[in-house]
Chains A and B, each alone.
Chain A
Amino acid sequence: MQWTADKVQAEVFNLIAPFNPKGAALRPDTDLSADLNMDSVSAMNLVMEIEDRFEIDIPISLLPDMNCLQDLIDTVMTQLNKD
């Protein structure tokens, strides 16, 4: 499948649903910690779901730089384009 940034965003938003029990509004600038109240373990678990969906690896050393949803989307696009 050819992933575009829009499709990646839609898919990332879907994958976040189980990590967003309060149903906070999702936008590219939504902050994982401040807006979604995610701790470091939840963030790593979300990344694992994303890795499985896109069949990519996202080294956890990149996590400190992933603050908002746009950061996640950008990372997915970068890793997809590497393959």
Chain B
Amino acid sequence: MSLLDKYDQVAQRHNSLVAAGRDPFDICMDRIISATEAIVDGREIILVGTNNYLGLTFEPGTIEAAVNAIKREGTGTTGSRIANGTYSSHRALEREIADFLGRRSAMVFSTGYQANLGVLAGLAGPKDIILLDADSHASIYDGCRLSGAKLIRFRHNSPADLDKRLTRLEGDTADKLIVVEGIYSMLGDQAPLQEFADVKRRHGAELLVDEAHSLGVFGDRGRGVCESARIEEDVDYVVGTFSKSIGAIGGFGASNHPGFERLRYTSRPYMFTASPSPSSIATALATLGQIKARPELRQQLWDNARSLYKGLTDLGFSICAEASPIIAVKMPNEASAVFMWNSLLEAGVYVNLALPPGTPDGSCLLRCSLSAAHTPQQVSRICEVFEQVLIALKSWQAALSAAD
């Protein structure tokens, strides 16, 4: 017996996925050509599964800023802020994020995952209660667990269910934190934030919104769904990542709360890890400037999103939510999803294959994420490839039933 034996069943499932074609969890891009193209197995592929929403990963000015930061500050920070010191660039980025979001203070973390761990485990403790949306990202679940708080899960995007659970908790004097995401990463569906804010106000709880997939994408200034829903005043804490629209790696927490800075010496995921690297900090700083200066990028992104949504809907595909930069195509079962995913890649289109238990309601998804950098021609090509592959799927299914 080995410790790893417990994964036998999962490994078996992984093996059967790989046997059907490529390994969906280990696609190697031999060369990245641009924000929307890469070479995989010697062939040019259109990338539709990158979360590179604003397509800013190859901006010449940003690359120069990152290179200069490495030359100026070195390749790594080699330690944590509390033990080994803060770089002035960390502080500059924190001021910039706070200013961008109109918040009193912001803290940067080394990854988006860690931002959720650090903020959640910093805010809540064993005597507190966290109420989290059932479809929350793994980093939210892990941060909540790390906090030691009592965890109550409410039905996805249901303010009524949250209200019911908070009502049951009336009389419990524990502090309560509600955790939701602006837009959900798998289905691309948006949280009804105004209704959540109403429930929060009624019950005197605090509210945290993770804007990982909505920062730079929603709102007049790109602040996220809190801005577009006009409820920023009701949101006590915002968490976000640099690894999507910001095109770097890292994350942040931001708040107007005067005590928020206390997390710097109480939140273990902030305290006991190396601080973000100079190149990531410089990239995030430069990209925030781009987001402010180029609101047209959001328009391009949304034009592309609506265009792909229409194209796929016209082809008869079932899309899980309204048009958004995340378009999740729902497949009837795992076999057809895996066939489609392999065939799409073979035909030059990379999307994400998402399977249970990593998806809501046991769905098998082909998850597409659009970029402002996609050209209208690329979006048309993506639709053409989906159409071809759908025909191939039907032939494959017909051949299978004939063989039965």
Contacts and interface: CB of A to CB of B under 8 A. Distances in A.
Contacts of A55: 168
A48 to B, nearest CB: 6
A9 B85 CA distance: 57
A57 B162 CA distance: 12
Interface string A40-83: 11101101100000011101110000000000000000000000
A57 B356 CA distance: 25
Nearest to B149: A61
Contacts of B169: 57
Contacts of B168: 55-57
A55 B153 CA distance: 14
Nearest to A56: B168
B151 to A, nearest CB: 5
A42 B360 CA distance: 10
Given A59-B151, A60-B153, A61-B145, A42 B357 contact: yes
A34 to B, nearest CB: 10
A48 B155 contact: yes
Interface string B35-67: 000000000000000000000000000000000
Interface in B117-152: 134, 145, 150-152
Contacts of B145: 61
Given A48-B134, A55-B168, A61 B357 contact: no
A61 B144 CA distance: 9
A39 interface: yes
Contacts of B152: 57, 59-60
A56 B155 CA distance: 14
A76 B154 CA distance: 17
Band of interface residues on A: 10 to 19
Contact of B150 (A41, A44, A48, A59): A59
Contacts of A39: 356-357
Contacts of A61: 145, 150-151
A35 to B, nearest CB: 13
B31 interface: no
Secondary structure type dominating chain B contacts? mixed
Interface residues of B, number: 13
B202 interface: no
A46 to B, nearest CB: 12
A41 B151 contact: no
A40 B151 contact: no
B294 interface: no
A44 B151 contact: no
Given A48-B134, A57-B165, A57-B169, A40 B153 contact: no
A2 B321 CA distance: 42
A44 B165 contact: no
Nearest to B132: A60
B357 A60 contact: no
Nearest to B131: A57
A75 to B, nearest CB: 14
B174 to A, nearest CB: 11
Nearest to B153: A60
A41 B357 contact: yes
Nearest to A58: B152
Interface string B162-176: 000100110000000
A39 B151 CA distance: 19
A36 to B, nearest CB: 13
A53 to B, nearest CB: 13
A42 B358 CA distance: 11
Nearest to B126: A61
Given A57-B168, A57-B169, A44 B153 contact: yes
B378 to A, nearest CB: 34
Nearest to A39: B357
Contact of A48 (B153, B356, B357, B362): B153
A21 to B, nearest CB: 11
5 contacts: A42-B362, A48-B155, A57-B152, A59-B150, A61-B151
Given A42-B362, A55-B168, A60-B153, 19 more contacts: A41-B356, A42-B357, A44-B134, A44-B153, A45-B134, A47-B153, A48-B134, A48-B153, A48-B155, A56-B168, A57-B152, A57-B165, A57-B168, A57-B169, A59-B150, A59-B151, A60-B151, A60-B152, A61-B150
Interface of A: 39-42, 44-45, 47-48, 55-57, 59-61
